[in-house]
Amino acid sequence: MPIYEYQCGACDHQFEKLQKMSDSPLVECPECDKPELKKLVSAAGFQLKGSGWYETDFKNSGAKAKKTETKSDASSSTSKKTESAA
């Protein structure tokens, strides 16, 4: 269930309410009891869980690839130094 933010137009009281998507929007302010509530647009805070998401499946594989490239770069630079010394 999403959390909706509301603000009263009469008293500027602002609050959050956990509601079903099928619930109708609130109209009456719990502070001043006037029908002046407006639903605010806010950023949704959520986290993707489970397999199949970038966050859990591919985040560390990029770091491993960089480490592998670094090792191969280091060995190729060592072989170049050896060749130039000979």
Residue 29 lies in a domain: yes
Of all helices (H) and strands (E), which one includes residue 8? strand 3-8
81 found inside a domain: no
Q: Position of tokens 């499946």?
A: 57
For residue 4, what are the β-bridge partners?
17
Q: Does the residue 80 lie in any domain?
A: no
Looking at the DSSP assignment, which residues form a beta bridge with residue 84? none
Domain annotation covers residue 35 = yes
- Does residue 73 lie within any of the structural domains? no
- Asked whether residue 7 is domain-assigned, the answer is yes
Contact 11, 33 (CB under 8 A): no
Residue 11 in domain = yes
Q: Confirm whether 62 is domain-assigned.
A: no
Closest CA to 12 of 28, 29, 26: 29
Domain that holds residue 20: 3-40
86 residues of the chain, pLDDT tens digit each: 788 999 999 999 999 999 998 999 999 999 999 999 999 988 776 666 666 666 555 555 555 555 555 555 555 555 555 555 55
Give the Cα separation of 64 and 58 in Å (integer). Answer: 10
Our count of domains for the chain comes to 1
